[in-house]
């Protein structure tokens, strides 16, 4: 557990940051692929592991499954696309890269079963050769890990960040922190963040905190901070998804399923597909081209069949897939998972 101590100034400096971008998410996906059984990502892993590029070991050496990892996210902050991320990596401050390497080389949280490879010390070199090999490995794994889904994932994370910002605007910082459960718990003036490491006390000291939603940061948040700017706010990367239905929505729609159309009827199958993205009854009606009353009826039938679940959010009824609904939409009831 990490215990983040807030001052009044820190609470005034809490904000929502933009999603990590393609490079950052790819580095987090590197950890996820190496980890043991995590039901939420098992379907994704079973697909990706068969196509892992030969140079994946370069990333695995820098980003092990557990413990700390070499932070190449902070030096490339602000880059959304992979090309922007790679450019930012090559232009990153050599001093910042040097400090990042030194930080993990001496960290007590680096996995005891592995060692930071010796070649990592050459990442800050001016000739860019080592850094270029890392960049190539990131690009290779990104194409496998996300295939053609990155644009949809990026849109999903943008929406997640906007939702967090609206929550903070309407419910305040405490309301925002409440949405982080069970990954974090607010006990004023301390935010307790669930991690696998032993208890650590962190005093923000007026720097503030940036919250960023991510797809492959699960099951515990990740804390990052600048190695060269002590006044920069801490960054807390939090899970943007909670269950397989969320992952299905983040991963994007699949090709129409003719068997599903035959089973449910074309309109109800379209409703199930629309709900995979997460929507309200009004939004569902708009997508189906029917009245809200008809959309509500379709949702009720799907809910009674255990394919979706609904909850009221202020004045709207929101719908999302259940695990069974996601599996049915995917046409893979044996796995019970919807994967790309």
Is the pLDDT score of 195 beyond 90? no
Rounded Cα gap, residues 302 and 275, in angstroms = 10
List 227's β-bridge partners, or say none. none
Whole-prediction pTM: 0.76
Please compute the mean of the pLDDT values over residues 279-306 and round it to a whole number.
90
Rounded Cα gap, residues 123 and 67, in angstroms = 21
Q: Using one digit for the tens of pLDDT, what is the confidence trace for 208-267?
A: 999 999 999 988 899 999 999 999 999 999 999 988 888 888 887 655 567 788 888 888
Query: Both tokens of residue 197?
Result: 């490491």
From the CB of residue 50, how many other CB atoms can be counted at a distance below 10 Å? 8
3-state secondary structure of 34: helix
Is the pLDDT score of 141 beyond 60? yes
What does the pLDDT read at residue 338?
39
What does the pLDDT read at residue 334?
47
């Amino acid at each position: 557990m990490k215990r983040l101590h807030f001052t009044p100034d820190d609470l005034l400096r809490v904000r929502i940051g933009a999603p990590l971008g393609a490079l950052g998410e790819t580095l987090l996906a590197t950890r996820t692929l190496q980890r043991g059984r995590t039901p939420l990502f098992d379907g994704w892993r079973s697909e990706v592991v068969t196509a892992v590029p030969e140079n994946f070991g370069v990333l695995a050496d820098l980003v092990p499954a557990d413990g700390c990892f070499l932070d190449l996210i902070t030096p490339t902050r602000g880059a959304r696309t992979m090309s922007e991320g790679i450019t930012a990596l090559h232009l990153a401050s050599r001093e910042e890269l040097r400090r990042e390497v030194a930080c993990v080389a001496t960290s007590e949280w680096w996995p005891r079963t592995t060692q930071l490879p010796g070649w990592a010390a050459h990442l800050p070199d001016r000739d860019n050769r080592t850094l270029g090999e890392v960049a190539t490995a990131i690009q290779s794994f990104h194409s496998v890990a996300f295939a053609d889904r990155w644009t949809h994932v990026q849109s999903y994370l943008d929406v997640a960040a906007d939702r967090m910002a609206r929550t903070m605007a309407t419910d305040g910082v405490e309301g925002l922190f409440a949405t982080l459960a069970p990954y974090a718990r607010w006990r004023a003036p301390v935010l307790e963040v669930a991690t696998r490491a032993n208890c650590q006390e962190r005093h923000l000291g007026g720097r503030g905190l940036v919250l960023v939603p991510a797809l492959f940061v699960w099951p515990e948040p990740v804390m990052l901070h600048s190695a060269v700017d002590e006044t920069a706010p801490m960054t807390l990367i939090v899970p943007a998804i909670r269950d397989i239905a969320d992952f299905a929505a983040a991963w994007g729609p699949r090709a129409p399923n003719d068997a599903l159309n035959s089973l449910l009827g074309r309109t109800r199958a379209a409703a199930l597909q629309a709900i995979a993205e997460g929507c309200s009854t009004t939004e569902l009606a708009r997508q189906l081209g029917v009245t809200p009353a008809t959309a509500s009826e379709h949702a009720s039938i799907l809910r009674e069949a255990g394919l979706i679940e609904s909850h009221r959010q202020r004045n709207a009824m929101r719908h999302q897939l259940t695990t069974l609904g996601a599996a049915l939409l995917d046409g893979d009831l044996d796995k019970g998972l919807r994967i790309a």
